[in-house]
Amino acid sequence: MPRFAVCVFPGSNCEEDVQYALQNVLGELAELVWHKESSLAGYDAAILPGGFAHGDYLRVGAIARFSPIMDAVRAMADDGKPVIGICNGFQMLQEAGLLPGAMLRNQTLTYICRYLYLRAERADSPMTQTLANGEIVRIPIGHADGNFYADDETLDTLERDSRVVFRYVNEAGERDESSNPNGAAHAIAGITNEQGNVVGLMPHPDRCYEPELGTDDGRKLFESLVAWTKDHA
Amino acid sequence: MKANVIIKLKSAVHDPQGETIGHALAGLEYDQVTSVRQGKIFELTLDVSSKEEAASMAREIAERVLSNPVLEVFEVEVED
Amino acid sequence: MILDEKLEAHNLTRDEYDTIVSKLGREPNDNELGLFSVMWSEHCSYKSSRVHLKRLPTKGPNVLQGPGENAGVVDIGEGLAAVFKVESHNHPSFIEPFQGAATGVGGIIRDIFTMGARPIALMNSLRFGPLSVAKNRSILRGAVAGIANYGNSMGIPTVGGEVVFEDSYNLNPLVNAFCLGIAPKERIFLAAAEGVGNPVFYVGAKTGKDGIHGATMASAEFDEAAEEKRPTVQVGDPFMEKLLLEACLELMESDALVAIQDMGAAGLTCSTCEMGARGGMGIEIDLDKVPKRETGMSAYEILLSESQERMLLVAHAGKEAKVEAIFDKWDLDASAIGRVTEDGLLRVIADGRTVASVPNRYLADEGPVYERALERPASFATQTEVHADDVDEPSDLGETLVQMLSSHTIASKHWIYEQYDHMVRSNTIVMPGSDAGVVRIKGTPMALAMCLDGNGRYASLDPYLGGASAVAESCRNLAAVGATPIGATNCLNFGNPEKPEIMWQFSQAVDGIRDACERFGVPITGGNVSFYNETEGVGIYPTPVIGVVGIIDDATKCVRHHFQQPGDLIYLLGETHDELGASEYLKAVHARIDGRPPRLDLDVEAALHGLMKDATSQRLLRSAHDLSDGGLGIAIAESLFGPLGETMGAAVAIEAPRRADGVLFSETQSRILASVAPESVDTLSALAERHGVPLSRIGVTGGERLDIQINGTHAISEMVATLRETWWTAIERGLSS
């Protein structure tokens, strides 16, 4: 049975939601690992959860990359194991150089907590393996800095290599302005690295894994993560 | 010794905060303001003996921690 | 400085000063005068309100802790307790909306985790002047962003609340913040210092010159450069508080802690003397050991600083290392600054000298108590009932409905609540914008429902009714989601208590709250009074805000406010009278703010709650929505709009012996709108009869339009999508004006 490490930084606040989804909903083994640990030996996947690590005081995700655990996370990524960053975790992966681009302030200049529609742009990533290519899921965002930015060259590379995992769309699956309230470039909600084992996404599957929470679409993403981890063990 | 690290957004990066402030200034009839870009300044107090040492340490800190090269550029000024 | 000036700067009267001198048997020194000044202030001593608050019911079978501690505690079963309180931060939010509102949220969160509870939900009750005034728009933006900044960073969902716009709050916003936490029932921490020789620790942020009460005037040395030393706005640090929260909860699981209290208003002074007084002990602190952010702070400044994110705790002697290790894990310093003594004194040491020495109980328990004069204002007697016939009948009720949905008090508050993280912790099962916020309790079948309600307009026209109606509406909101109230907290926002008319309003409101709480069996377990809400001598509406918490035994029985299925039958539970006095309709459509607010019959209201309890526990209702501002017409419209953008139409036909606008917009109390599957109708009818609640079938759900006929005449026919767009965007439109 794979073991999932949910890395906890000072200021993280979604670690228990991720753990609950994996452990209580899917029956997997997920453990919280404090950021001062320097090893992730024995774990098959690492998840960097959402929150406000170090208060996001310098830049979102900026200080967390100096935590001892990040070396272990980097090693795991180099090993081809799944490394997932959700929201603040995505921002940390960008700051750590494991994923390209950076997050600017939402174009509304406000924090936005809202259900949005996402389109899965590839069906073979750790977060989309059990989805159909092009499948639409409804998953909430909760952030003030989700306005994905990268220079044109990087964006071209991401598109050319099909490294966009999720895009913000409307209910019909089309891109439009009101479906991308952050103003993210190319409506990007999630991307992967060149090897395809590191995924960052701004929306929170950890907030919608049971229908009474709004939707249970997030459950599909965690099921995907479990399946991908097992397949690549 | 004091070193100031001034962080600015790269010119290609969209700056909604700066634009919003620009709109506000236009609303206050500062018509001559054609653009506003928002940045940050860090005042570092350093226990070092020379200006050169202060500048190089501040540059290193700015590059490694205070700025994000994807978005930002920085300048360092050392005061006596 | 001569004595009179000193007293004025400290907001103490000559009589109060004489009392201090006779208690001490000597003149207080400047530091001691500062201590008395803050502890005997209205804010800390409740000197004007105490005699009235005594009338509130505070006991109940489930109450584990009533008023007097940092927050109230109620047993919710499963070995758990709910810890909750609401508190105002009106004056700081008036001075600086962002930081004022943010630190209000920070303060109430500390009150909750101080008791040993993990905070799981926030709400806030906000009142602003009209958005047509630019300053009010910026106050709204600032306060909302501040609340969002703090609550979101803490990882606590903001699940509900209320936002009201009235001229009366022009430039004088009300920001009332509520927090609820969950603790093991057997492990509630109180703030009573015990054990002579036990160490007193200071943890959290360093002390600066934030918000020092009256300090500029208090000392001659402040004359120069007064600008630089003026009391500053308190700046919140939610990251620090998040660390404090986690570290304190971890400490509470160890065996090292005796007592703990946050440093809120009056900072170190208040927490020290209150902890000492509660335990009947003395406390000695050494100011040289207090971590300071600035150099050269005087004893006076350190004692009175209101720097945020600080806690004071008493640990068991011998467990100091354990305390330090836990805080060290979270990169926090715990500084031992003193010890518990047996002499009952607050003794303050600085530079090796005693700079203040006062019995804790003088400060905490023996403040002045005033029975201030009451006087019923002449305007009260002149208010009369307002009926539909007293106003011009609108020619197009569809247009009137649109006008009502555009009223900022009624319009969707999504522009506000979407800035709050309302989903973190993945327990929120009813989204903001509904009757009540509902969070499930993982590991149990339960959910907790909570809401904040008040109606300043009602209270200004009839404060007794305003108080009672706030309780009734809160309990009704809980009934609508299927919850049974277990306890309440109140935040009483009023003007200057030295004015007899204000004090009369206060006394009346307390009576109204008392009567309603007693009738519904809901104890008040804590809260807060905010007086002196005035700008340029004009008081705000008296605004009692009530927060009620209720239990849903089985979270799957929780009821949503919006229509769920086409073909369901729409029922009105309760009876409608022609009561337009003080209504939103009168204000929004006829620009009138007058008349008697709707009557409230507590027995009728209680019967409705009884019916709702049975109907929801038998799963008879597909949806239920409380009727309040805007009456039946608005309740029907809101039931068409789901929280995730879902919509559903309805066809409604009502027979009533009155004009259509009276039917649609009367704000008669004690009513709920419900939709019911056809197969449940007979059971519901029998149940309603048993509870003595009138039940009328008024329509059926489905389609894309809202059609309303009244007395056989077409009143409203609008596309649901159009109505929703109006309602959804009204505040954004108001902000961009």
Provide the percentage of residues in chain C whose pLDDT is more than 90.
Answer: 85
Say whether residue B16 is in contact with chain A using an 8 A CB cutoff: yes
Going along chain A from its start, the domains and CATH numbers come out as 3-231 (3.40.50.880)
Taking only residues 56 to 75 of chain B, the set having a beta carbon closer than 8 angstroms to any beta carbon of chain A reads 65-66, 68, 70-71
Q: Do A58 and B65 touch (CB under 8 A)?
A: yes
Q: Are strands C484-493 and C447-453 parallel, antiparallel or unpaired?
A: unpaired
Q: Shortest CB distance from A109 goes to which of B13, B17, B70?
A: B17
Chains that touch B (3 or more CB pairs under 8 A): A
Tell me, rounded to whole angstroms, the distance of Cα C445 from its chain centroid. 27
Q: Shortest CB distance from A54 goes to which of C239, C421, C426?
A: C239
Q: Shortest CB distance from A102 goes to which of B17, B66, B68?
A: B68
Q: Is the pLDDT of residue B80 over 80?
A: no
Residue C414 bears catalytic tag: no
Q: Is the pLDDT of residue C227 over 50?
A: no
Q: Which of A32, A57, A113 should one mutate to test binding to chain C, selecting the residue with the greatest count of C CBs within 10 A?
A: A113
Taking an 8 Å Cβ-Cβ cutoff, which residues of chain A contact chain C?
Answer: 10-14, 16-17, 20-21, 24, 50-52, 54-57, 110-115, 138, 140, 142, 144, 204, 206-209, 212-214
Work out the pLDDT band at C225, boundaries 50, 70, 90: very low
Work out the pLDDT band at C95, boundaries 50, 70, 90: confident
The conformational region for residue C214 under phi > 0 = left, psi -120 to 50 = alpha, else beta, is left
> C73 to each of A219, C79, C279, how far by Cα in Å?
35, 13, 19
Q: Which of C10, C52, C89, C625 is catalytic?
A: C89
Mean pLDDT of C461-482: 97
Work out the pLDDT band at C213, boundaries 50, 70, 90: low
List CB contacts (< 8 A) between B18 and chain A: none
What per-residue confidence (pLDDT) applies to C212?
67
List CB contacts (< 8 A) between C153 and chain A: 11, 52, 55-56
Mean pLDDT of C624-646: 97
Q: Is the pLDDT of residue C607 over 60?
A: yes
Computed over every residue of chain C, the mean pLDDT equals 93
What per-residue confidence (pLDDT) applies to C215?
35
CB pairs under 8 A between A and B: 35
Q: Do C423 and A204 touch (CB under 8 A)?
A: yes
What per-residue confidence (pLDDT) applies to C96?
84
CA C590/CA C568 separation, integer angstroms: 35
**Sheet of C174-184, strand order:** C63-65, C72-77, C80-88, C174-184, C118-128, C158-165
Residue A89 C-alpha, separation from nearest chain B C-alpha, in angstroms = 16
What per-residue confidence (pLDDT) applies to C222?
35
Q: Which helix (H) or strand (E) holds C243?
A: helix C238-253
Q: Which of B38, B63, B71, B72 should one mutate to test binding to chain A, selecting the residue with the greatest count of A CBs within 10 A?
A: B71
* Exposure string for C220-234, b = 16+ CB within 10 A, e = fewer: eebeeeeeebebeeb
List CB contacts (< 8 A) between C558 and chain A: 212
Single out the residue of C459, C477, C481, C460 nearest to residue C468, CA to CA. C459
CB A98 within 8 A of CB A71: no
Residue C43 bears catalytic tag: yes
pLDDT tens digit sequence for B52-72: 999 999 999 999 999 988 889
Single out the residue of C518, C543, C515, C539 nearest to residue C529, CA to CA. C543
Question: pTM for the full model?
Answer: 0.94
Bridge partner residues of B6 (DSSP): B41, B75
Chains that touch A (3 or more CB pairs under 8 A): B, C
Answer whether C touches B (≥3 Cβ pairs < 8 Å).
no
CA A197/CA C695 separation, integer angstroms: 60
What's the one-letter identity of residue B56? S
What are the residues whose beta carbons fall under 8 Å from the beta carbon of A177, sequence distance 6 or more?
Answer: none
pLDDT tens digit sequence for A8-60: 999 999 999 999 999 999 999 999 999 999 999 999 999 999 999 999 888 88
CB C262 within 8 A of CB C311: yes
Q: Do A113 and C418 touch (CB under 8 A)?
A: yes
CB C156 within 8 A of CB C424: yes
pLDDT tens digit sequence for C12-26: 999 999 999 999 999
CB A129 within 8 A of CB A224: yes
Going along chain B from its start, the domains and CATH numbers come out as 2-79 (3.30.1280.10)
3-state secondary structure C302-344: HHHCCCCCEEEEEECCCCHHHHHHHHHHCCCCEEEEEEEECCC
Single out the residue of A68, A4, A50 nearest to residue A31, CA to CA. A4
DSSP characters over A103-159: EEPPTTSS-EEEEEEEEES-SSSTTTTTSPTT-EEEEEEEES--EEE--HHHHHHHH
Q: Which spans in C128-210 are helix H? A: 134-154
The conformational region for residue C532 under phi > 0 = left, psi -120 to 50 = alpha, else beta, is left
- The yes/no answer to whether this complex scores an ipTM above 0.90 is yes
Residue B70 C-alpha, separation from nearest chain A C-alpha, in angstroms = 7
Q: Which of C10, C43, C52, C422 is catalytic?
A: C43
CA C331/CA C247 separation, integer angstroms: 9
Tell me, rounded to whole angstroms, the distance of Cα C702 from its chain centroid. 37
What per-residue confidence (pLDDT) applies to C217?
34
Q: Do A101 and B70 touch (CB under 8 A)?
A: yes
CB C175 within 8 A of CB C102: no
pLDDT tens digit sequence for B34-52: 989 989 999 999 999 999 9
Q: How big is chain C, counted in residues? A: 737
Mean pLDDT of C184-196: 93
CB C720 within 8 A of CB C726: no
Say whether residue B13 is in contact with chain A using an 8 A CB cutoff: yes
Q: Are strands C118-128 and C158-165 parallel, antiparallel or unpaired?
A: parallel
What per-residue confidence (pLDDT) applies to C220?
32
- For chain A, state the CA radius of gyration: 16
Say whether residue B46 is in contact with chain A using an 8 A CB cutoff: no
List CB contacts (< 8 A) between B16 and chain A: 104-107, 109, 147, 183
CA C307/CA C103 separation, integer angstroms: 10
Residue B31 C-alpha, separation from nearest chain A C-alpha, in angstroms = 24
What per-residue confidence (pLDDT) applies to A58?
84
Coil, helix or strand for C530? strand
CA C3/CA C107 separation, integer angstroms: 34
Residue with tokens 């450069």: C225
Mean pLDDT of A135-151: 97
Computed over every residue of chain A, the mean pLDDT equals 96
DSSP characters over B11-78: TTS--HHHHHHHHHHHHTT-TT------EEEEEEE---S-HHHHHHHHHHHIIIII--TTTEEEEEEE
pLDDT tens digit sequence for C425-446: 999 999 999 999 999 999 999 9
CA C55/CA B32 separation, integer angstroms: 63
Going along chain C from its start, the domains and CATH numbers come out as 53-185+377-735 (3.30.1330.10)
- What's the burial of C305, exposed, middle or buried (CB within 10 Å: 0-12/13-18/19+)? buried
pLDDT tens digit sequence for C685-705: 999 999 999 999 999 999 999
What per-residue confidence (pLDDT) applies to A148?
98
Residue with tokens 């805000």: C545
What per-residue confidence (pLDDT) applies to C479?
98
CB C663 within 8 A of CB C550: no
What per-residue confidence (pLDDT) applies to C43?
86
CA C489/CA A46 separation, integer angstroms: 43
What per-residue confidence (pLDDT) applies to A227?
97
pLDDT tens digit sequence for C505-536: 999 999 999 999 999 999 999 999 999 888 77
